[in-house]
Amino acid sequence: MTNTMHINFYFRPSTVDDTIGSIYVQVTINKERVVLGAVTSVSGLRLPKVMMIKAKHWDAKEQRVRRVSDQALVINKAIGKCEEKLNKLYAQHEGFDITMNGRQLKLLFFGETRVRPTLPLLMDAFIKDRTDKRGNENTIATYQFKFRPFTAFLTKFNYLNLPAEEFTPELLENYKTYLMVDRKNSDRTADKSRQVVKTILLWAAGTGLIKINPLLNTRIRVDKTPNLECLSQEEVQIVRSAPLMPQLRAIADCFIFACYTGLAYQDLKDLSPENLQVKEGKRCIVGNRNKTGTEYIVPVTPIVNELMVKYNGVKLPLPSNQRYNTYLKDIMFLLGIKKRITTHTARKTFADWCINEIMMSDEATIVAMGQKDPKELTPYRKIKSKRLISEFPKDLLME
């Protein structure tokens, strides 16, 4: 059962004479009370807006007017009509497994012909759609993670029951303010979170769940300059040699392993002994990326081999992505490395190492990272002075 509903008819005394009054209908839907009005006014039977009866003629237990006059028959008919309409609405919502609130009930009761879903309902439907279509598990998990601050915003400002079609550009701007002030997000991060809201509404409009996309003409400009921040080799060595407690040491080892293999979190998690192969007489880690299916080939270097010996193979003690990121922040704080480090920083560090330290070509780096073309290397590629000087004609250089 998705909804709980209780209908109550009650006597409402006149403000002039409390011995007479009219009969009102009140509904409690999912613990939320809403008064619809006088039954003769809201029943749809074209009766006078208010029909008075004596207080003593109202039977609260039976929820009917005692049959002492023709007027009682008319009011009881209006009560029955209200019950019929409300029970029909309840049955419709149960049939579609849709949660109802007081605002929606009132709109539907007074003539709104369709259910207007809320944003939490759309988020649930979006995830279900992606799951049913067997979407990438990591992508689904990312959406679920990005929905959390939006749900917190809707909860804090009492927008949980707001129809999605009424989420205006002004509210979207308020969401950005909330992200930057309450959650300390950067301008770029806040805009990317706002894009998620646009994605939900665009999808909902495309599937017919909503008739109007309130953000259709809203433009969100996100700085697309790639974040090329990575660890220098000096910083990698600090992490590698730091005296850490066992739990943090294991996390640091996973990170170092990724810094010298370029493996993304899911690819690192999927490693098995079958991924250790010999290519051209040299041991390599070979596999296909979880995200794209593209093959990667990474030679086993001494640092990688050292960790493989320590952990008896390629299955390292990898925690969940969220816990991994949390521990990495702790490690960097302890070591005084003031950079925004995540699991993906290791992949960027690997690209930097390949291009600027061991002077690999773009073509070889692309193969090692499991990428399809040079464009995919752009978010990772930043030529540093060391590489520049090494390729500059030596006879043109001066001390």
pLDDT digits (tens, 9 = 90+) for 234-256: 999 999 999 999 999 999 999 99
Domain closes at, from 110, 135, 163: 110
Give the 3-state secondary structure of residue 247: helix
Shared domain for 242 and 374, answered yes or no, is: yes
**Average pLDDT score, the chain:** 87
Lowest mean pLDDT among 220-224, 249-253, 369-373, 378-382: 378-382
The Cα-based distances of 377 to 29, 358, 362, 370 in angstroms read 55, 17, 8, 10
Q: Please give the tally of structural domains in the chain.
A: 3
The pLDDT score that the predictor gives to residue 223 is: 66
The pLDDT score that the predictor gives to residue 115 is: 65
The pLDDT score that the predictor gives to residue 260 is: 94
Paired residues of 28 in beta bridges: 6, 33
The pLDDT score that the predictor gives to residue 381 is: 67
pTM: 0.55
The pLDDT score that the predictor gives to residue 292 is: 83
Sign, CA torsion 85/90/95/96: positive
The pLDDT score that the predictor gives to residue 114 is: 61
For tokens 């301008």, what's the residue?
187
Whether residue 226 lies inside any domain: the answer is no
Paired residues of 2 in beta bridges: none
pLDDT (average), residues 66-88: 92
Asked if the model's pLDDT at residue 1 lies above 60, the reply is: no
In this structure, are residues 289 and 332 in contact, taking their beta carbons and an 8 Å threshold? no
**Alpha-carbon span 359 to 385, nearest angstrom:** 12
Percent of the chain with pLDDT over 70: 92
Domain closes at, from 110, 128, 159: 110
Shared domain for 88 and 128, answered yes or no, is: no
Lowest mean pLDDT among 18-32, 56-70, 81-95, 322-336: 81-95
* 381 Cβ contact partners less than 8 Å away, ≥ 6 residues apart: 228, 351, 355, 362, 365
Whether residue 288 lies inside any domain: the answer is yes
Identify the band that residue 300 occupies on the pLDDT scale cut at 50, 70 and 90: very high
The pLDDT score that the predictor gives to residue 393 is: 72
- Comparing CA positions, the residue from 276, 277, 275, 279 lying closest to residue 288 is 275
Q: Which long-range contacts (CB under 8 A, 24 or more apart) does 368-371 make?
A: 368/262, 368/296, 368/297, 368/298, 369/262, 369/296, 370/262, 370/267, 370/287, 370/288, 370/289, 370/292, 370/294, 370/295, 370/296, 371/294
Identify the band that residue 270 occupies on the pLDDT scale cut at 50, 70 and 90: very high
- Comparing CA positions, the residue from 158, 146, 215 lying closest to residue 183 is 146
- Comparing CA positions, the residue from 2, 150, 21 lying closest to residue 89 is 2
Structure tokens, 113: 């012909």
Highest mean pLDDT among 266-270, 357-361, 377-381: 266-270
**Alpha-carbon span 336 to 354, nearest angstrom:** 25
The pLDDT score that the predictor gives to residue 380 is: 66
Residue 334: in which H helix or E strand, if any? helix 321-335
Amino acid at 392: F
Shared domain for 94 and 128, answered yes or no, is: no
pLDDT (average), residues 64-75: 92
Whether residue 186 lies inside any domain: the answer is yes
Domain closes at, from 51, 83, 110: 110
Pairing of strands 58-59, 32-38: unpaired
Whether residue 106 lies inside any domain: the answer is yes
Asked if the model's pLDDT at residue 64 lies above 80, the reply is: yes
Whether residue 218 lies inside any domain: the answer is no
Whether residue 253 lies inside any domain: the answer is yes
Shared domain for 203 and 302, answered yes or no, is: no
Host domain of residue 169: 119-207
Secondary structure (DSSP) of 68-108: SSHHHHHHHHHHHHHHHHHHHHHHHHHHHT----HHHHHHH
Amino acid at 161: N
Shared domain for 81 and 189, answered yes or no, is: no
Identify the band that residue 396 occupies on the pLDDT scale cut at 50, 70 and 90: low
Shared domain for 99 and 150, answered yes or no, is: no
CB atoms inside a 10 Å sphere around CB 194: 20
Shared domain for 130 and 198, answered yes or no, is: yes
The pLDDT score that the predictor gives to residue 365 is: 86
How big is the chain by its Cα radius of gyration, in Å? 32
Whether residue 158 lies inside any domain: the answer is yes
Whether residue 332 lies inside any domain: the answer is yes
Shared domain for 386 and 286, answered yes or no, is: yes
In this structure, are residues 4 and 33 in contact, taking their beta carbons and an 8 Å threshold? no
Shared domain for 364 and 342, answered yes or no, is: yes
Lowest mean pLDDT among 61-70, 340-349, 380-389: 380-389
pLDDT digits (tens, 9 = 90+) for 272-291: 999 999 999 999 999 998 88
Shared domain for 203 and 280, answered yes or no, is: no
CATH code of 299's domain: 1.10.443.10
**Alpha-carbon span 179 to 186, nearest angstrom:** 8
Task: Kindly provide the residue ranges of all beta strands, DSSP E only, lying in the chain, ordered along the sequence.
Answer: 5-13, 20-29, 32-38, 53-54, 58-59, 64-65, 276-279, 282-288, 295-299
Paired residues of 201 in beta bridges: none
Shared domain for 123 and 84, answered yes or no, is: no
CATH code of 175's domain: 1.10.150
Q: CA angle, 202 as apex, 201 and 204 as ends, to 5°?
A: 60
For tokens 């300390």, what's the residue?
184
* 312 Cβ contact partners less than 8 Å away, ≥ 6 residues apart: none
Burial group, residue 395, by CB count within 10 angstroms (0-12, 13-18, 19+)? exposed
**Alpha-carbon span 381 to 389, nearest angstrom:** 17
Asked if the model's pLDDT at residue 200 lies above 90, the reply is: yes
pLDDT digits (tens, 9 = 90+) for 93-115: 765 556 777 877 887 888 755 66
Shared domain for 156 and 203, answered yes or no, is: yes
pLDDT digits (tens, 9 = 90+) for 130-169: 888 877 777 888 889 899 999 999 999 999 888 898 999 9
CB atoms inside a 10 Å sphere around CB 211: 10
CB atoms inside a 10 Å sphere around CB 251: 25
